[in-house]
Chains A and B, each alone.
Chain A
Amino acid sequence: MSIVSSDLVIYNSANMPVVDSGTSGGAIDTARRPDFTQMASSDTVRVVSSNGGDTTQTVTITGRLADGTLASETLSLNGTSPVTSSNTYERLLQAELSATCTGNVTVARSTGPTTIRVIPAGERGFQAVFQQDSSDPSLQEDFYMKVFWKNTNGSLALTSAVVKENSDPSGLITFGLAATVGDSGSTTNRKTAPAGISFAGTPVSVPGGGNLASGAAIGQWLDLTLPAGQAAVKSTYTPELDGNTT
């Protein structure tokens, strides 16, 4: 196998709003990713780089405390010496570097071998895709966010490429693919359905014959459907990109 699974990387789109106003979607943002491992229990968060020279950057983290309230903080990196958050978070929602680092930056819980995410050198951070999306007491609400699958292999195309749902424990999310590879489509705000996208939970072939060329990316729209009166949800969603390689 010549394309390996680590070559297939999921990235943010340029606009990932956490409020109901402002554009959602757009082009790929290869500096930020929408995947990380949520904290299993409340803890402080430590951040450390693999390079001693990473001392001028800060990391701004946002999360929820044990009582459900939001909190955020900005910490200065200190190279290979870990820095620890002041807050004890029940869950993390976002981590954003002020600038790219020379080293790989690890964001982890302070106790246990529980890395939340490695921010690869040259990237800026990560965030939860759906956050602060409120249900309505009497109406169904839908929220639309866009991510991208990129084939980062330097020379080979992924053929017969199919995007599918790997797991959706909440059962609240469906998806649809952009009509073309490398698109930059967006929608007015996260509560407005993107034009021309059909949402379902079934596998969808990458448009254009199923080939995802070296360096190419396909946009994947996600639809979070909250029925009227939906209770709070803390869950995950795992999409998957499959294909063939030579």
Chain B
Amino acid sequence: MAPLSFIPLRGPWTAGDEGVFAEETTVEKPSKNLVRFAAHAHHAGVIDVTDGLDLSHVQSQEDAEKAQEAARGSWVERTWADDGTAVPGYWDGPWGVGNLAQHDLETAQRRLQAARADGDPDAVEAAEENLVAVDADIQARLAG
């Protein structure tokens, strides 16, 4: 394994259980895991790897976009209920599940923000309880 040199850019960098690095560092014989972590951290912009960078450990943007398309799945067209109202369409892959979970979470959080802004203690308490319930619900949904 070639030497690995890097400079932390955004404060001390903790590389899993490989150590904490606060200053410019050169590791003469880095572990495979440290090389992998360093590539990921370099990609994320938290360190600058100046020697020994192996970006084969990082997914390309092109591959990420292909993976996202696959995760999205197929679009299920809207349908119409007997009373004439629309039943919205949706993406049937796991992306749709996560996207909707995040949306529900944001809705509950906005309700709490609004209640706090209004200053009504009862509304705040109700919104806090709602957020707890929504958070538990989305985690249950994500767990499938």
Q: Is B14's CB under 8 angstroms from A74's CB? A: yes
Question: Interface residues of B: mostly helix, strand, loop or mixed?
Answer: helix
- In the complex, how many angstroms separate the beta carbon of A151 from the nearest chain B beta carbon? 12
Q: Is B142's CB under 8 angstroms from A73's CB? A: no
- In the complex, how many angstroms separate the beta carbon of A22 from the nearest chain B beta carbon? 10
B residues in contact with A103, CB < 8 Å: 94, 142
Q: Is A74's CB under 8 angstroms from B68's CB? A: no
Q: For the complex, is B105 an interface residue (Cβ under 8 Å from A)?
A: yes
Contact of B67 among A2, A122, A246 (CB under 8 A): A122
Q: Is B95's CB under 8 angstroms from A115's CB? A: no
What string of 1s and 0s marks CB contacts (under 8 Å) between A197-213 and chain B? 00000000000000000
What string of 1s and 0s marks CB contacts (under 8 Å) between A103-121 and chain B? 1101000000111011111
Within 8 A of A (CB), among B59-81: 59, 61, 63-65, 67-72, 75-78
Complex Cα distance A58/B131, Å? 29
Interface residues on B, range: 35 or more
What string of 1s and 0s marks CB contacts (under 8 Å) between A123-160 and chain B? 11000000000000000000000000000111110000
Q: For the complex, is B3 an interface residue (Cβ under 8 Å from A)?
A: no
Complex Cα distance A164/B124, Å? 26
- Residues of A within 8 A of B (CB-CB), count: 59
Complex Cα distance A197/B13, Å? 38
Q: For the complex, is A69 an interface residue (Cβ under 8 Å from B)?
A: yes
Contact of A74 among B16, B97, B142 (CB under 8 A): B16
A70 and B10 contact, Cβ closer than 8 Å, known pairs A31-B61, A58-B37, A100-B59? yes
| Residue of A4, A6, A30 contacting most chain B CB atoms (<10 Å) | A6
- B residues sitting closer than 8 Å to A (CB atoms) are 8, 10-16, 20, 36-37, 39-41, 43-47, 57-59, 61, 63-65, 67-72, 75-78, 86, 88-89, 91, 93-103, 105-107, 109-110, 113, 131-132, 135-136, 138-139, 142-144
Given contacts A18-B45, A80-B143, 7 further A-B contacts (CB under 8 A): A5-B103, A31-B61, A70-B11, A102-B71, A104-B101, A118-B138, A120-B97
* 5 closest Cβ pairs, A-B complex: A154-B75, A122-B71, A120-B98, A70-B11, A104-B98
